[in-house]
Amino acid sequence: MTLAGHELDGRARGVRAACSRLGGVAVLILAAGAARGGDRPNIILCMADDLGWGSVGYNGSEVIATPHLDAMAREGVRFDRFYSAAPVCSPTRASCLTGRHPYRTGVFTANAGILRPEEQTIAEVLKAHGYATGHFGKWHLGTLSATEKDSNRGGPKHPELFNPPWQHGFDVCFSTEAKVPTCDPMKRPAAFDDEGASLKFGWPRMEDDETGLAYGTAYWNEEGERVSDDLDGDDSRLIMDRALTFIESAASEERPFLAVIWFHAPHLPCVATKEYAAMYAQLGFEMQQYAGCITALDAQVGRLRTVLKELSIADETMLWFCSDNGPERGTPGETGGFRERKRSLHEGGVRVPGLLVWPGKGYRAVVDTPVVTSDYLPTILEALEIELEEGSGDLDGVSILPLFEGRAIERPAPIGFVSGNQIAWSGDRFKYYRKDGEEALFDLTQDAHEERDLSAAHPDLVEEMRARHATWMRELQASFEGEHYGTTSFERLGQSWPALPR
């Protein structure tokens, strides 16, 4: 059987209702929408940082409380095979904004490259159609200052990396270059020794009168200024404070908006407020901080949904939620049994929580068709009936809007991955994986935990998937090297196409 045959047999399984389950299998077909949302829906893209597939209640966590995400899963669309485009954060973020695989854009890994100015972002597209646009939280697609040292790369030593969100279509910003502590984000303890606990992992929240040291990071606004006020407390709350101010302003002007809300939790260092740490007092230090900051994030998602209802705009708002990759190694993060973790192209590194609520449409479903963060942009554009201009460049994502309406999607190829020394080619059923020259084939419909390598049993399929992935990689390289918009950016950065995995 050809690859196409193997993949087509999975499409019929794509949409299942969340209304009823027997023995773990959903049995009802998706119901039609109860009411239409606005012609120009608001768009909110929420993303956690390093949140594993199994670290949320609705995916089976028996420890970490996520009641508001669980409610989204019940009331909206739950994606059981939602993938980050990469197993680390910066590339995934690039895919969210462009609809393209990050290797096309030159964002190969974290703390390397920038989201190139020539790329067309969802913020730029929607802004041109009258949307207010805001970015809140972690950026990690370039530096936010070329004049003073900041975070991982920012400052005068690398002015070529200056690439803030306000240069990519965002009107309002409350953004950091990279990671910050998940509570009191601008500071760290001067000294810390708690039974060998590490500052790298995190620390108990400092007392109000405790002297701390600067963590070395900053929040920046759209004017390129450091934000200096109201920076104490849970970081997810600080991000949501600014996002809600932006949303309330847009609503008061009856203007549609795009809000990109990229939380830092539960990326290390994990610090929970005393309130949230106390919820896990019976557990060890690390779980108190780790689970505490996730539950704090979850509370802000609930707060967001409450405000949308109070503003009477919930029905016309598409609210998405996902994670940028799987859980960090050495943390209590859960993969739900999937193989490996962050930095791996096995399922545990890239299969992440994925949710959508759009009350005005009445969409309720469990979707087991594979979808990926690159699908955000084409899906949103189809919902808004916006077409990109000619010459905008190849998209790797597709619109998944039909899935919510009980229809299949026609993805022209499996979802392609590449990261460092790994590649993967993941279809509805089969997944081809290669690392350091070692190949494997998995049937994800029968073996989601990737325990049985079927490559010896299906050599023709392995050969076909290997060849198609190689063709796709050549397309990525052509895009990166200027096929669509020239070579200015990668020459500015001194970038070159990375050596491909063997």
pLDDT for residue 196: 46
- The pLDDT confidence band at residue 484, using thresholds 50, 70 and 90, is confident
Domain residue limits at 469: 415-493
Q: Which of 404, 438, 461 is the last residue of a domain?
A: 404
Residues 252 and 316 in one domain: yes
Q: Which of 357, 374, 404 is the last residue of a domain?
A: 404
* 186 Cβ contact list (under 8 Å, min separation 6): 180, 214, 215, 217, 218, 219, 231
Place of tokens 């690392």: 435
Spatial contact of 169 and 123, defined as CB atoms under 8 Å apart: yes
- The pLDDT confidence band at residue 39, using thresholds 50, 70 and 90, is confident
Indicate whether this model's pTM tops 0.95. no
Considering the domain boundaries, does residue 250 fall inside one? yes
Taking alpha carbons only, the member of 433, 478, 202 closest to residue 340 is: 433
- The predicted-structure confidence for 390-404, as pLDDT tens digits, reads as follows 767 789 999 999 999
Spatial contact of 84 and 372, defined as CB atoms under 8 Å apart: yes
Q: What is d(CA 490, CA 468) in angstroms, rounded to the nearest whole number?
A: 26
Q: What angle do CA 189, 49, 312 make, to 5 degrees?
A: 110
Considering the domain boundaries, does residue 498 fall inside one? no
The CATH code of the domain that includes 105 is 3.40.720.10
Q: How many domains does the chain have?
A: 2
- The predicted-structure confidence for 102-119, as pLDDT tens digits, reads as follows 999 999 999 999 999 999
Residues 420 and 319 in one domain: no
Residues 209 and 60 in one domain: yes
Residues 382 and 449 in one domain: no
- The predicted-structure confidence for 257-274, as pLDDT tens digits, reads as follows 999 999 999 999 999 999
Backbone dihedral angles phi then psi of residue 292, each to the nearest 5 degrees: -60, -45
